[in-house]
Amino acid sequence: MAFDGVTIANIVSELKKTLIGGRLYKIAQPEEDELLLTVKTGDGQFRLLISAGASLPLIYLARDNKPSPLTAPNFCMLLRKHLQNGRIVDISQPGLERVIQIHIEHLDELGDLCRKTLVVEIMGKHSNIIFCDAEGRIIDSIKRVSAAVSSVREVLPGKPYFVPHTRDKLDIFSADQETMLQALRAKPMPLFRALYDSFTGISPILAQELCFRAGLDGETPTAAFEREDYRKLFLGLEELAQTVRKADFSPCIAYHGRQPVEFSAIPLTIYAAPFGGTSGERLVSFATMSELLETYYAEKSTLTRIRQKSADLRRIVQNALERNVKKYDLQLAQLRDTEKREKYRIYGELLNTYGYSARPGADSIEVTNYYTNEPLTIPLDTALTATENAKRYFDRYNKLKRTHEALTKLSAEVKDEITHLESILASLDIALQEEDLIEIKEELIESGYIRRRDFDRRGQGTKKQTKKSKAASKPFHYISSDGFHMYVGKNNFQNDELTFRFASGGDWWFHAKGIPGSHVVVKCDGTDTPPDSTFEEAARLAAYYSRGRGADKVEIDYVQKKHVKKPGGAKPGFVVYYTNYSMIAAGNIDGIRSAEEN
């Protein structure tokens, strides 16, 4: 998930093909540390987004425009003064450094042709956008760095520009096998760490990929490998260098389920089954690195935003779940204590039968238990008669019996509440839109965990907004390989709607057995039973959209919808069925086509 030198090389290759010869039509600064350049070429108009943000530095060709402040910042005004309508003549990268140099020709005030350079440094918190003249002197930068901030390099107007020092790292284009071997063996650390610590432009994930391609364990210390192992690794480095020289990139994102976890300019085979990926991991290829970056950060932003917005809801549900689990454990312990009630009943009955033989003041009596025909010793209170002892045991029995009956009912209610709360947590895990969260909030309001006036006061929704959101939030929609439509509820409200209002009696219904999860409906529309492949795909959907997500084996119940019933007064999403089939499915949905992809 790093902007390494190889990723930068991929971007430079794309920008060269697209922007060289184009003219700077607009220069905007939407954010304090961000530029948006609009470039007109013979093939059309393109937007180049450049961010020097400490948390998210990036550069790519963006499809969408961004609003800019009414008054342009000073750096933006400076660029407009010098570069407006300038022509991009070259875009370069020094070595495999995380630096892009955009060379621009323009006419000065006297009409003379001049050349300026816009330098983009993608270096984490040290990222910057630096504007230099033809002699390499800094005119200005989007972030000024004084000697008080950095003793290594000042970035101030009038100072000479130079590429930051990379600690004498090796270059994959020029290093030979012996040099690599000596450099890696000199570092007593895991092989993949030594690799990215020794070569310019290689990130940790790329180093792990190179080790994997060479058949080596990147977590093993460098001293454990033989010369032959290093030879295989060097061949991988040479192949990478050749890929960069030829600009033969294959941008891809590695997903775990639906969550993007890494991206790279070359295929990450460690995530691609059957080469090395685990269950639920897959690679998605993109035509350009710009398209990849826009997709990756948009999806990451969506997931991050939803997690942030669901944090309060998750905390409410977790706290309620912990309270109910503690209550349930206490009730089970109390239920175990009531198991002795039958013993007290038998004591009372036997004392009524044999109590006449008890000696006055005796602390026990030996009798024959006529239920088992075995001898039994019954403890007695010496201050009471046998009849009074029998009454005391019957009183204990009746008290424990009432306690057992009450606890049995209460514990079943608490168990249902735990199941309900776990299902809400599962809904929060799969929520992708704010509309999904509003439905979950409404469910928590109806269940009494959130007061509606507090819900409205925080500006998080009203009844009117909630109804509107219910209409906007729809179940997931997939199409099986055989062409059958499959629907997945995102929360308990949608589960009920999907199962009891949308589905027909002949449709097939799927759910993970014994764990919270979504209802999955396969629409048959009066046709015959779907093929086995559709059943298998629907079962995988039920496994993925449940608490069993990511597991290799999840037991799935499936039955025709007409056999699924909802008990009166049951909580949202709760159903019963008595005749069903079962199958085992993996908790991933690789290869299942979403209807949105059509």
| 95 and 184 in a common domain | no
Q: Does the residue 390 lie in any domain?
A: no
- pLDDT given at position 430: 82
Pairing, β 281-285 against β 259-264: unpaired
What is the edge-to-edge ordering of all strands in the sheet holding 581-585? 581-585, 554-560, 508-512, 520-522, 485-488, 476-479, 593-594
Residues 50, 132: one domain?
yes
Q: Are residues 137 and 182 in the same domain?
A: no
Q: For residue 56, what are its two tokens?
A: 């998210």
Q: Which two tokens stand for residue 52?
A: 């020097």
Look over the chain and give the mean of its residue pLDDT values, rounded to a whole number.
Answer: 88
Using 50, 70 and 90 to split pLDDT, how confident is the model at 456?
Answer: low
pLDDT at 274: 47
Structure tokens at 313: 């809801």
Q: What is the CATH number of the domain that holds 220?
A: 1.10.8
pLDDT of 468 above 50: no
Candidates 207, 163, 177; CA nearest to 6 is 207
The verdict on 26 and 134 lying in the same domain is yes
| Strand order from edge to edge, sheet including 281-285 | 259-264, 252-256, 281-285
CATH of the domain at 125: 2.30.310.10
Q: Which of 148, 152, 100, 87 is nearest to 128 (CA)?
A: 100
pLDDT confidence tier of residue 276, bands split at 50, 70 and 90: very low
What pLDDT does 188 receive? 92
Angle at 327 (CA atoms; ends 323, 328), nearest 5 degrees: 115
The whole-angstrom separation of Cα 29 and Cα 53 is 13
Q: Would residue 437 count as lying in a domain?
A: no
Q: Where are the alpha helices (DSSP H) in 431-531?
A: 434-446, 452-457, 463-472, 492-497
Q: Which of 260, 295, 330 is the last residue of a domain?
A: 295
Sign of the dihedral through C-alpha 247, 1, 215, 235: positive
Give the span between the Cα atoms of 226 and 99, in whole angstroms.
Answer: 35
Residue 393 corresponds to which tokens in the numbers above?
A: 């045991």
Summarize pLDDT for 84-112 with one digit per residue, the tens.
Answer: 999 999 999 998 999 999 999 998 888 88
Q: Are residues 12 and 133 in the same domain?
A: yes
Q: Is 378 exposed, middle or buried (0-12, 13-18, 19+ CB in 10 A)?
A: buried
528-546 burial, b for 16+ CB within 10 Å, e for fewer? eebeeebbbbbbbbbbbbb
Mean pLDDT of the region 262-280 = 72
Average pLDDT over residues 353-370: 88
Q: What is the pLDDT of residue 41?
A: 94
Would 368 be classed as within a structural domain?
no
Which pLDDT tens digit goes with each residue over 298-324? 877 777 777 777 888 889 899 999 999
pLDDT given at position 510: 96
Residue 338 lies in a domain: no
Q: Please give the Cα distance from 536 to 539 (Å, whole number).
A: 5
**What is the per-residue burial (b if ≥16 Cβ within 10 Å, else e) of 453-463?**
eebeeeebbee
Do 501 and 566 contact (CB within 8 A), yes or no? no
Q: What is the mean pLDDT of residues 350-361?
A: 88
Same domain, 132 and 183: no
Q: pLDDT digit string (tens) for 7-65?
A: 999 999 999 999 999 999 999 999 899 999 999 999 999 999 999 988 788 899 998 88
Q: Which residues of 109-123 are buried (b: 16+ CB within 10 A; e: fewer)?
A: eeeeebebbbbbbbe
Q: What is the pLDDT of residue 1?
A: 52
**Is residue 316 within 8 Å of 451, Cβ to Cβ?**
no
pLDDT greater than 80 at residue 504 = yes
Of 215-229, 266-280, 283-297, 422-436, the range with the lowest mean pLDDT is 266-280
Q: Is the dihedral of CA 545, 547, 552, 554 positive or negative?
A: negative
Phi/psi of residue 329, each to 5°? Answer: -60, -40
pLDDT digits (tens, 9 = 90+) for 109-153: 888 899 999 999 998 888 999 999 999 999 999 999 998 888 788
Q: What is the per-residue pLDDT across 221-261, written as a single tens digit (0 to 9) for each?
A: 999 999 999 999 999 999 999 999 999 999 999 887 667 88
Determine the pLDDT at residue 472.
Answer: 60
Residue 434 domain-assigned (yes or no):
no
In a domain, 563, yes or no: yes
pLDDT at residue 469 tops 50:
no
Cβ neighbours around 298 below 10 Å, total: 12
Which of 250, 265, 295 marks a domain boundary? 295
Q: Cα dist. 248→245, 335, 353, 363, 486 in Å?
A: 8, 69, 96, 95, 39
What HEC string does 260-325 produce?
Answer: EEEEECCCCHHHCCCCCCCCCEEEEECCCHHHHHHHHHHHHHHHHHHHHHHHHHHHHHHHHHHHHH
pTM (predicted TM-score): 0.65
Segments forming the whole domain that contains residue 276? 177-295
Q: What is the DSSP string of 56-86?
A: --EEEEESS-----SS--HHHHHHHHHHTT-
187 and 129 part of one domain: no
34 found inside a domain:
yes
CA distance 416 to 420: 6
70-88: burial string, b at 16+ Cβ within 10 Å, e else: eeeeebbebbbebbeebbb
Average the pLDDT over 212-224 and give the result.
93
In the block, which residue shows the tokens 């006449």? 356
Residues 134 and 11 both lie in one domain: yes
Q: Which of 279, 295, 311 is the last residue of a domain?
A: 295
For the segment 378-389, the average pLDDT, to the nearest whole number, is 90
- Reply yes or no on whether the pLDDT at 348 is more than 70: yes
User: What's the confidence (pLDDT) of residue 379?
Assistant: 92
Domain assignment present for 522: yes
If one counts the domains in the chain, the total is 3
State how far the Cα of 356 lies from the Cα of 352, in Å rounded to an integer. Answer: 8
Q: Residues 526-558: pLDDT tens digits?
A: 677 889 999 999 999 999 999 888 778 899 999
What pLDDT sits at residue 158? Answer: 94
Q: Are residues 192 and 272 in the same domain?
A: yes
The rounded percent of the chain whose pLDDT value lies above 70 is 93
Do residue 566 and residue 482 come from a single domain? yes
Task: Give φ, ψ of 45 to 5 degrees.
Answer: -110, 135
Identify whether residues 16 and 132 lie together within a single domain. yes
- pLDDT tops 80 at residue 281: no
Angular region, 95: left φ>0, alpha ψ -120 to 50, beta rest: left
For the chain, how far is it from start to end, CA to CA, in angstroms? 29
Q: What's the pLDDT score for residue 167?
A: 57
User: How do residues 571-584 score in pLDDT, each as one tens digit?
Assistant: 898 999 998 999 99
* Same domain, yes or no: 134 and 182: no
